[in-house]
Amino acid sequence: MILLEKSKYRVRIAQTDQDIITCQSLRFKAFGMSHKSGLDRDTFDPVSQHVMIEHIQSNTLVSCFRMALFPSAETIERSYAAQFYALERLTTYRGALLEIGRFCIAPDQANQDESDIIRTAWGALTRIVDENDIALLFGCSSFRGNDPAPFITAFETLRARHLAPKQWAPIPKAAHRINFSALPNPGTSGQESIPALLRTYILMGGWVSDHAVIDAELNTMHVFTGVEIAQIPETRKRLLRALT
């Protein structure tokens, strides 16, 4: 099922077992995993839809992510993110929720075409959100590595400007985490060290948890991220729909 064809990219839903294996292989490479299987797979793959972004001319996979629809927020505690964050405050959220996870870009594309690929992904996501009347996008946004030192200014920027509203804020759950309130204040902005995908969520009015979880398996630190569709500025909505 093709969601979008724009410029040099095609976005489609994985249809076959081989499609999913291709996504798992790209995830393995993008996250720098080292186990012997060569695939990044878990129990959430079978209950998710996998979105593939392919370079049309070469017919190669350049990016992928998976998504899971929650028609009611009451079931959010079955989500991938709920393994790491206590999400009971969000169980009363009104409307359908969509979890986005494992977003990654092929390592050989990450520098030269990253912005174009993310814009293409947002075009497809906008279509999905509109067609399914999604009220909240959520997921885990990753920082590479398990050392917080390079990202102190980024975490401080998130803490100062982009924390979740108290009524929706995730409650700490994971044992291995970095509490933003305990970090030193570097006194400078860290916007440039925030990962590109998370920066786009923030531009949409997105918010994050007040802590980062250390994920040793994926060699990342991640923050819970939410984007309330109703809160996206109208100018941004028009720009997003222009991508579809």
Q: Which residues pair with 224 in a beta bridge?
A: 140
Report the CATH number that the domain containing residue 54 is assigned in CATH.
Answer: 3.40.630.30
Q: Which of 96, 49, 57 is nearest to 75 (CA)?
A: 96
pTM: 0.94
How far apart (Å, rounded) are the C-alpha atoms in residues 156 and 189?
A: 8
Highest mean pLDDT out of 3-12, 16-25, 113-122: 16-25
Torsion of CA 228, 44, 24, 109, to 10 degrees: 10
In the chain the beta strands, taken as DSSP E runs, fall at 2-6, 9-13, 49-55, 60-70, 85-86, 96-105, 134-144, 171-172, 177-179, 207-208, 211-215, 220-228
Q: Residue range 123-134: average pLDDT?
A: 95
Query: 195 pLDDT exceeds 80?
Result: yes
Q: Which residues pair with 180 in a beta bridge?
A: none
> Average per-residue pLDDT in the chain?
93
pLDDT score at 188: 67
Planar angle of CA 221, 143, 104, nearest 5 degrees: 115
Q: Residue range 178-184: average pLDDT?
A: 91
- The total number of structural domains in the chain stands at 1
Q: Residue range 157-185: average pLDDT?
A: 94
Answer for the pair 47, 6: CB distance below 8 angstroms, yes or no: no
**Structural domain of residue 205, as residue ranges?**
2-242
Six token digits for residue 60: 């190669």
Q: What is the pLDDT of residues 84-117, one digit of tens each?
A: 999 999 999 999 999 999 999 998 886 778 889 9
How far apart (Å, rounded) are the C-alpha atoms in residues 222 and 212?
A: 5
As a whole-number percent, the residues of the chain with pLDDT over 90 amount to: 80
Q: Residue range 3-13: average pLDDT?
A: 92
Q: Which residues pair with 68 in a beta bridge?
A: 99
Answer for the pair 241, 126: CB distance below 8 angstroms, yes or no: yes
Query: 48 pLDDT exceeds 70?
Result: yes
Q: Residue range 169-193: average pLDDT?
A: 86
DSSP, residue by residue, 10-43: EEEE--SHHHHHHHHHHHHHHTT--STTS----T
Query: 43 pLDDT exceeds 70?
Result: yes
| Reported confidence tier of residue 240, pLDDT bands at 50, 70, 90 | confident
How far apart (Å, rounded) are the C-alpha atoms in residues 6 and 24?
A: 24
pLDDT score at 119: 93
Six token digits for residue 198: 């998370």
| Reported confidence tier of residue 186, pLDDT bands at 50, 70, 90 | low
How far apart (Å, rounded) are the C-alpha atoms in residues 243 and 237?
A: 10
Q: Residue range 133-142: average pLDDT?
A: 97
Q: What is the pLDDT of residues 65-92, one digit of tens each?
A: 999 999 999 999 999 999 999 999 999 9
